[in-house]
Structure 1
Amino acid sequence: MNVKTVTKALAVTTAGIMLLAGCGGGGSSKQASSGSDGFDSKAKTAITFAGWSLDMTPEFKTLANGFHKAHPNVTVNVKQYSADDYDKQLTADISSGAQPDVFPIKNMLKYVTYSDSQGLADISDIAKGYQGNKHIDLNGYEHNGKYFALPYRSDTWVLFYNKDMFKKAGVEEPNAKWTWDDYTKAAKELKEKLPAAGYDANSVYPMYMHNWQSVVQSFALAQCGKSADSTFLKADFSYMEPFYKRALEWQKDKYTIDWNTSFTNKVQYQAQFGTQKAAMMPMGTWYAATLVSQQQSGEAEKFSWGMAPAPQNPDKKLPKTPITFGSPTSLAVSSKATGQKLAAAKEFVKWASGQGGALELAKLSTTPAYIDDKVTEIFFSPEGMASDQASKDAWSKHDMKMEAPVATATDTINSLLKDTHSSIMTGAKSPSDGLKEATQNVKDQGVLDE
Structure 2
Amino acid sequence: MKKVSSLFKAAAFAGAAVMMLAGCGSSNNAGGKTETLDENAKTEITFAGWSLDTTPEFKTLADGFMKDHPNITVNIKQYSADDYDTQLTSDISGKSQPDVFPIKNLQKYYAYAAESGGLADLSDIASEYEGDKNIDVSQYKLEDGKYYAMPYRQDSWVLFYNKDMFEKAGVDAPDGTWTWDDYTKAAEELKEKLPAAGYDASSVYPMYQHGWQSVVQGFALAQTDGAYDDYFKGDYSYLKPYYERALKWQKEGLTIDWNTVNSTKVQYQAQFGTQKAAMLPMGTWYAATLVSQQKSGDADTFNWGMAPIPQNPDEKTDETVTFADPTGLAVSSNISGQKLAAAKEFVKWCSGEKGSEALAKIATTPAYFSDSVADTYFGTDGMANDDLSKKAWTEHKTNPENPVGAGTNTIQDVLNTVVHSGIMSGTSSVDDAIAKGTQDIKDQGVLQQ
TM-score over 0.5 for the pair: yes
Note the alpha carbon deviations across 1:36-80, whole angstroms, 9 max, x for none.
Answer: 532222222111111111111111111111111111111111111
8 Å Cα contact 1:48-1:77 kept in structure 2: yes
User: Paired residue for 1:345, among 343, 346, 350?
Assistant: 343
Match of 1:112 in 2: 110
- Whether 2:161 is the aligned partner of 1:161: answer yes
Alpha-carbon distance in 2 for matches of 1:238, 1:212: 19
Give the secondary-structure state (helix, strand or coil) at the position aligned to 2:324: strand
After TM superposition, list the pairs within 5 Å mapping 1:200-279 onto structure 2: 200-228=200-228, 230-279=229-278
State the SS of the aligned residue for 1:94: helix
Quote the offset at 1:320 in angstroms.
2.2
TM (norm. structure 2) is 0.92
Distance 1:5 1:287, change over 3 A: closer
* 2:416 aligned residue (411, 418, 423): 418
Deviations 1:94-123 (A, max 9, x none): 222211111001122222221112221111
Q: Which runs of 5+ in 2 are unaligned?
A: 1-8, 19-23
* CA distance 1:301–1:5, change in 2 (3 Å): closer
- Any idea what SS the aligned residue of 1:50 has? strand
**What residue in structure 2 maps to residue 74 of structure 1?**
72
Which of residues 394, 415, 422 is equivalent to 2:392?
Answer: 394
Please report how far the alpha carbon of residue 356 of structure 1 lies from its aligned counterpart in structure 2 after TM superposition: 1.1
Q: Classify 1:8/1:150 alpha carbon distance in 2 versus 1 (closer, same or farther; 3 Å).
A: closer
Q: What's the secondary structure of 1:158's corresponding residue?
A: strand
TM-score using structure 1 length: 0.92
More helix by share: 2
Identify which range, 433-442 or 354-363, moves more after superposition.
Answer: 433-442
Compared with structure 1, are the counterparts of its residues 178 and 5 closer, same or farther at alpha carbon in structure 2 (3 Å cutoff)?
closer
Q: Provide the C-alpha distance between the structure 1 equivalents of 2:15 and 2:295, rounded to a whole number of angstroms.
A: 51
Distance 1:205 1:280, change over 3 A: same
State the match for 2:4 in structure 1. none
The equivalent of 2:91 in structure 1 is 93
Mapped pair 1:4 → 2:37? no
Q: Which amino acid aligns with 1:367?
A: T
Identity %: 61
Alpha-carbon distance in 2 for matches of 1:385, 1:274: 14
Q: Which of 318, 327, 332 is equivalent to 1:329? A: 327
Offset at residue 5 of structure 1 (A)? 5.2
Give the corresponding residue for 1:27.
none
d(CA) in 1 for partners of 2:109, 2:441: 20
Counterpart code for 1:389: D
8 Å CA contact retained: 1:136, 1:371: yes
Say what the alpha-carbon RMSD is for the aligned residues: 2.0
Which letter does structure 2 place at the counterpart of 1:226? G
8 Å contact kept, 1:164–1:304: yes
Give the Cα–Cα distance (whole angstroms) in 2 for the partners of residues 290 and 431 of structure 1.
34
Contact 2:14 2:405 in 1 (8 A): yes
For residues 244 and 149 of structure 2, the distance between their equivalents in structure 1, rounded to whole angstroms, comes to 37
Aligned-residue offset at 1:381: 1.8
Distance in 1 separating the partners of 2:285 and 2:28: 24
> Could you tell me how far 1:406 is from its partner in structure 2?
2.7
Deviation at 1:213, TM superposition (A): 0.5
> Take 1:235 and 1:72, find their aligned partners in 2: how far apart are those partners?
53
Q: How many angstroms apart in 2 are the aligned matches of 1:293 and 1:169?
A: 27
Amino acid at match of 1:231: D
Aligned residue number for residue 192 of structure 1: 192
Structure-2 change in CA distance of 1:20 and 1:46 (3 Å): farther
Cα deviation, residue 227, structure 1: 4.9
Of residues 360, 363, 378, the one that matches 2:361 is 363
Contact 1:81–1:89 at 8 Å: present in 2 too? yes
Return the letter of the residue paired with 1:222: A
- Contact 1:22–1:149 at 8 Å: present in 2 too? no
Q: Secondary structure at the match of 1:137?
A: coil
1:85–1:91 Cα change, 3 Å:
same
Alignment CA distance shift 1:233-1:94 (3 Å): same
The answer for the alignment partner of 1:447 in structure 2 is 446
- Provide the rounded CA distance (Å) in 2 between the counterparts of 1:86 and 1:422: 25
1:363-382 equivalences under 5 Å are 363-382=361-380
Q: Deviations 1:233-262 (Å, cap 9, x if unpaired)?
A: 222111011000000000011111110011
Greater displacement, 241-250 / 387-396: 387-396
Instruction: Please give the secondary structure, in 1, of the residue aligned with 2:77.
Output: strand
Match for residue 47 of structure 2 among 37, 46, 49: 49
Aligned letter for 2:428? K
Q: Name segments (4+ residues, structure 1) moved above 3 Å.
A: 4-10, 18-23
Give the Cα separation in 2 of the matches to 1:113 and 1:355.
28
Deviations, residues 383-414 of structure 1 (Å, cap 9, x unaligned): 32111111011111111011112322222211
Whole-angstrom distance in 2 between the partners of 1:89 and 1:231: 33
Local SS of the residue matching 1:368: coil
Matched-pair contact (CA < 8 Å) for 2:130–2:136:
no
Distance 1:8 1:125, change over 3 A: closer
Q: 1:376 to 1:344 in 2, by over 3 A?
A: same
Distance 2:407 2:142 in 1: 14
Q: Give the drift of 1:283.
A: 0.6
Residues 46 and 248 of structure 1, relative CA distance in 2, 3 Å threshold: same
CA distance in 2, matches of 1:50, 1:201: 45
Partners of 1:99 and 1:8 in 2: CA distance: 25
CA contact (8 A) 1:207 1:279 kept: yes
Distance change >3 Å, CA 227–CA 137, structure 1 → 2 = farther
